């Protein structure tokens, strides 16, 4: 062995599994892609590890760590494939899931047509237990052990093995929930149980209940998947540290993540946002829109000052979740998105996807429904193969499928294909507007960063639609999510509700609560192998004006949280409120400020890979031209094709052109140009602007 040491990042998507390995000494990067294996995702995972090690000429003993982004929990929720769940709550609150919230999707204009989605647990599988805490956690009525045993035996006899427990005000004191957990272990030892005080120690009973039930629902499948990966990874690299990406922008060891499975929702999209943020930040852009286009969907998010925005108001499918997660909007507009005709006779694209199996029509064993990929290959926007020729694509099969669709629409081949791409581009543009315009941000102030296998195919059209100044396309864009997994620290988030008006808030109580949260965070990082001197603890708090329904999160300084520190937090809240909503009440003494939640994030830093500069080369941009082919933009044009590995810093590719590499293709439309920067990024701009 050469003594080389590498870390590996693996992102499993709906169509491909992306792999990146980084040499810890030299910063050398090796990448590969392999088809995903939906029947057993571990097969694609292990194939990717073996292939990337083979490219480097290394064995498993060279691997120092593996980080993984998984869609297991997300897909289970999106597909609604949940086992029968049981729910145990406080007597009198058995209808909390039915009442839910009054919020109506897309505003009240649709309220007459909206029906609440089915509850996650049917009413006949809800059991209540007598016992009651008040808002401070003080016991009003003692916990009834007989009720608890009756509930546990009911679920045991009914064969319900997955149970969520959420008692009223258990965020303030967890004694009743812990006693319920003991009873379940005694009476129903085979049950998988989640209790709300360990999942989300935060008020709002409906959201806490659903978040706890979702955690319980995905726990068996996530545990089985991670355990299977761990066992099979040991065949290649025994005992190597194995981390799983979390929705909050951190990773956690596989041994711990099985106890917090809900934190893996949006795992892959979070990694992509972080990888794109690092690449764009190194290139000099601190306000970035990330656009991660895969085979099934496109994920978009906002990055400001190098940090993707976080939210606790997210959801996956129809299930709300209060866990901290990177604010990602997902739209069914990937390469495999199916084009279809609505009952009204109009062309639609997605959200249904052909995925990896059977795949687009042009795939060797493809399906019968035309997709976005079929439109690209028919128009010459992508070559008649994927992954450098590993997967041949049938242009004739795609053409036949689009011709049949166009006949039903009364459109020719080119108009049908460009119509599919236009609808897909507008679907992506609307998602980008959701994370900018809908949040009070001007989309034109941002640099678009596109990645994923299909993320850059519509970049020029998105710039036209949204008025964006530029698009950055990283090298190996299909592997940015896997690269992002290697940029991520170990991170755990802890929260404690403490509702109090600012004037009545006791600094000593704040200090005590923060100290308890910090000790929990530090203890978890101890278990992950981080010395106390390495650990970073970040405080924040959720504040609002009295009477508001939702909060604004602001940082809390280090040191003793005395009155001056708390006043500084309120000042920061006024500033943040004005930035978000355009107004504040900083000078209005009648409008009180209310503290709601205290938060601590425990961070164990991991060394990030370097973004390596591209060496200079002589010969000009023509060195990268490999030939020409007809490509349809507004008309058929004989278009030069560039091999991206042949490009060097300072090269400018003027459209019309197509730039190809192993895992992705960038069509440069007429009127656009792509400039190569010193890191090998392509900067797409309007030719006039350049």
Query: pLDDT for 93-133, tens place per residue?
Result: 999 988 877 666 554 444 455 567 678 899 999 999 999 99
Please check whether residue 564 lies inside any domain of the structure: yes
Query: What tokens appear for 36 in the block?
Result: 């995903």
What are 247-262's pLDDT values in tens digits?
888 888 888 888 888 8
- Higher local confidence (pLDDT), 606 or 451: 451
User: Looking up tokens 């440069």, which residue turns up?
Assistant: 668
Same domain as 172, residue 86? yes
pLDDT for residue 13: 74
Same domain for 532 and 631, yes or no, is no
Residues 505 and 634 in one domain: no
In 502-530, which positions are buried (b, 16+ CB within 10 angstroms) versus exposed (e)? beebeeeebeebbeebbebbbebbeebeb
Residue 674 lies in a domain: yes
- Whether 640 and 572 share a structural domain: no
* Confidence band of 663 (pLDDT split at 50, 70, 90): confident
Count of domains in the chain?
Answer: 4
Distant-in-sequence, close-in-space partners of 514: CB < 8 Å, separation ≥ 6: 539, 556, 561, 598, 600
Among 199, 222, 245, residue at a domain's last position: 222
DSSP class of 454: S
CA dihedral (109, 115, 118, 124) positive or negative? positive
Sign of CA dihedral 224, 225, 230, 231: positive
Domain end marker among 181, 200, 222:
222
CA distance 351 to 340: 10
Contact (CB, 8 A) for 48 and 10: yes
Region 319-341: what's the mean pLDDT?
Answer: 85
Kindly report which listed range (42-46, 372-376, 682-686) carries the lowest average pLDDT score: 42-46
For residues 82 and 218, membership in a common domain is answered with yes
Could you count the other beta carbons within 10 Å of the beta carbon of residue 124?
7
Q: Which residue has the higher pLDDT, 492 or 1?
A: 492
Classify the C-alpha dihedral 227-233-237-242 as positive or negative. Answer: negative
Angle, helices 205-233 vs 72-79, to 10°: value is 130
More confident residue, 282 or 72: 282
The number of CA neighbours under 13 Å toward the Cβ of 278 is: 21
Instruction: Give residue 270's pLDDT.
Output: 85
Residue 375: inside a domain, yes or no?
yes
**Token output for 128:** 């209540």
Residue 672 belongs to a domain:
yes
Q: Please provide the average confidence, as pLDDT, over all residues in the chain.
A: 89
As given in the structure block, the two tokens for residue 5 are 């040491």
Tell me if residue 56 falls in helix, strand or coil. Answer: helix
For residue 34, how many C-alpha atoms fall within 13 Å in the half-sphere facing its CB? 17
Question: What is d(CA 518, CA 534) in angstroms, rounded to the nearest whole number?
Answer: 14
Q: Is 0.85 topped by the overall pTM?
A: no
**Residue 364 CB: number of other CB atoms within 10 A?**
11
Beta bridge partners of 458: none
Q: Are 231 and 176 in contact (CB under 8 A)?
A: no
Say whether pLDDT at 690 is over 70.
no
Task: Answer whether residue 314 is part of any domain.
Answer: no
Query: Which residues have CB under 8 Å from 376's CB, separation 6+?
Result: 335, 382, 417, 421, 457
CA distance 601 to 538: 5
User: What's the whole-number mean pLDDT along residues 250-275?
Assistant: 85
HSE of 531, CA atoms in CB hemisphere, 13 A: 2
Domain assignment present for 318: no
Decide the pairing of beta strands 447-451 and 471-473. Answer: parallel
Residue 451 lies in a domain: no
Percent of the chain with pLDDT over 70: 96
Residue with token string 């997967």: 391
Region 516-535 average pLDDT = 92
192 and 100 inside one domain: yes
Same domain, 128 and 218: yes
Rounded to 5 degrees, φ, ψ at 670 are: -55, 140
Q: Which two tokens stand for residue 654?
A: 């003027």
At residue 541, does pLDDT exceed 60?
yes
Contact between residue 293 and residue 320 where contact means Cβ atoms under 8 Å apart:
no
Does the pLDDT value for residue 213 go beyond 70?
yes
Give the chain's end-to-end CA distance (angstroms, integer).
49
Q: Is residue 10 part of a domain?
A: no
Question: Among 160-174, 357-371, 599-613, which range has the highest average pLDDT?
Answer: 160-174
Asked if the model's pLDDT at residue 1 lies above 50, the reply is: no
CATH code of the domain in which 582 resides: 3.30.1490
Cα atoms in the 13 Å half-sphere on the side-chain side of 605: 10
207 and 83 fall within a common domain? yes
Instruction: Tell me the range of 24-33, 454-463, 611-620 where mean pLDDT is highest.
Output: 454-463
User: How many CB atoms are closer than 10 A to CB 92?
Assistant: 11
**Dihedral (Cα; 587, 588, 589, 595), 10-degree rounding:** -90
Q: Are residues 595 and 638 in the same domain?
A: no
Question: Do residues 557 and 631 both lie within one domain?
Answer: no
Q: Of 165, 191, 222, at which residue does a domain stop?
A: 222
pLDDT in tens, 49-83: 999 998 888 888 899 989 998 877 777 776 677 88
For residue 103, the model assigns a pLDDT of 64
pLDDT band for 540, please (50, 70, 90 cuts): very high
Look at residue 402 and tell me whether its pLDDT is greater than 80: yes
Are 530 and 597 contained in the same domain? yes
Which region among 97-101, 138-142, 181-185, 655-659 has the lowest average model confidence (pLDDT)? 97-101
635 and 573 housed in the same domain? no
Q: How far apart are CA 690 and CA 673, in angstroms?
A: 8
Judged against a pLDDT cut of 90, whether residue 559 lies above it is answered with no
State which H helix or E strand residue 384 sits in.
none
Q: Is the pLDDT of residue 526 over 50?
A: yes
Expressed as residue numbers, the domain containing 643 is: 621-686
Q: Where are the beta strands (DSSP E) in 428-574?
A: 447-451, 471-473, 490-501, 536-545, 552-556
Predicted confidence (pLDDT) per residue in 419-449, tens digit: 999 999 999 999 999 889 888 889 999 999 9
Calculate mean pLDDT across residues 551-567: 92
- The CA distances from residue 410 to 366, 371, 402, 404, in Å, are 25, 18, 12, 10
Give residue-wise pLDDT tens across range 472-525: 999 989 888 888 888 888 888 999 999 999 999 999 999 999 999 999 999 999
């Amino acid at each position: 062995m050469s003594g080389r040491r590498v870390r590996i990042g693996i992102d499993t998507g709906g169509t491909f599994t992306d792999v990146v390995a980084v040499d810890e000494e030299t910063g050398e990067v090796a990448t590969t892609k392999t088809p995903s294996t939906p029947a057993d995702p571990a097969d694609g995972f292990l194939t990717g590890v073996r292939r990337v090690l083979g490219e480097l000429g290394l064995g498993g003993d060279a691997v120092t760590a593996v980080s993984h982004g998984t869609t297991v929990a997300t897909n289970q929720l999106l597909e609604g494939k949940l086992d029968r769940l049981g729910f145990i709550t406080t007597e009198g609150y058995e209808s909390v899931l039915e009442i839910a919230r009054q919020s109506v999707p897309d505003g009240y204009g649709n309220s007459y047509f909206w029906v609440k989605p089915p509850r996650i647990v049917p009413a006949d599988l809800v059991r209540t237990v007598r016992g009651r805490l008040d808002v401070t956690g003080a016991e009003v009525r003692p916990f009834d052990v007989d009720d608890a045993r009756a509930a546990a035996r009911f679920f045991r006899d009914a064969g319900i093995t997955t149970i969520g427990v959420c008692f009223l005000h258990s965020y303030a004191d967890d004694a009743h929930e812990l006693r319920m957990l003991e009873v379940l272990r005694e009476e129903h030892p085979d049950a998988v149980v989640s209790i709300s005080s360990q999942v989300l120690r935060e008020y709002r009973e409906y959201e806490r209940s659903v978040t706890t039930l979702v955690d319980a629902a995905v726990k068996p499948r996530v545990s089985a998947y991670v355990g299977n990966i761990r066992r099979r990874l040991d065949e290649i690299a025994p005992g190597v540290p194995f981390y799983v990406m979390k929705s909050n922008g951190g990773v956690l060891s596989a041994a711990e993540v099985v106890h917090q499975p809900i934190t893996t929702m949006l795992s892959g999209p979070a990694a992509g946002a972080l990888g794109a943020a690092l690449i764009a930040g190194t290139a000099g852009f601190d306000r970035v829109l990330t656009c991660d286009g895969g085979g099934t969907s496109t994920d978009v998010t906002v990055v400001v000052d190098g940090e993707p925005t976080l939210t606790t108001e997210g959801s996956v499918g129809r299930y709300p979740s209060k866990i901290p997660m990177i604010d990602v909007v997902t739209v069914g507009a990937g390469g495999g998105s199916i084009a279809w005709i609505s009952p009204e006779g109009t062309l639609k694209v997605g959200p249904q996807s052909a995925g990896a199996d059977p795949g687009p029509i042009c795939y060797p064993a493809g399906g019968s429904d035309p997709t976005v990929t079929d439109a690209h290959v028919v128009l010459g926007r992508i070559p008649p193969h994927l992954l450098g020729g590993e997967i041949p694509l049938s242009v004739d099969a795609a053409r036949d499928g689009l011709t049949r669709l166009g006949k039903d629409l009364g459109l020719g081949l080119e108009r049908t294909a460009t119509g599919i791409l236009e609808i897909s581009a507008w679907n992506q543009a609307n998602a980008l507007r959701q994370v900018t315009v809908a949040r009070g941000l001007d989309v034109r102030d941002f640099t678009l960063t596109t990645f994923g296998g299909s993320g850059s195919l519509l970049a020029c059209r998105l710039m036209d639609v949204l008025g964006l100044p530029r698009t950055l396309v990283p090298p190996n864009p299909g592997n940015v999510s896997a690269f992002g997994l290697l940029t991520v620290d170990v991170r755990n988030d802890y929260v404690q509700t403490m509702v109090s008006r600012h004037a009545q808030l006791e600094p000593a109580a704040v200090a005590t609560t923060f100290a308890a949260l910090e000790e929990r965070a530090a203890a978890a990082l101890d278990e992950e192998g981080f010395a106390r001197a390495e650990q970073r603890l970040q405080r924040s708090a959720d504040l609002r004006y009295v009477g508001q329904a939702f909060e604004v999160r602001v940082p809390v300084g280090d040191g003793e949280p005395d009155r001056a520190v708390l006043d500084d937090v309120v000042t920061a809240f006024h500033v943040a409120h004005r930035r978000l909503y355009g107004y504040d009440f900083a000078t209005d003494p009648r409008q009180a400020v209310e503290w709601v939640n205290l938060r601590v994030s425990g961070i164990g830093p991991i060394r990030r890979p370097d973004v390596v500069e591209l060496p200079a080369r002589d010969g000009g941009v023509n060195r990268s031209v490999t030939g020409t082919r007809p490509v349809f933009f507004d008309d058929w044009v004989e278009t030069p094709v560039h091999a991206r590995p042949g490009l060097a810093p300072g090269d400018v590719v003027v459209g019309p052109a197509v730039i190809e590499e192993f895992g992705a293709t960038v069509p440069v439309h007429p009127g656009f140009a792509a400039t190569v920067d010193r890191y090998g990024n392509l900067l797409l701009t309007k030719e006039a602007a350049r």
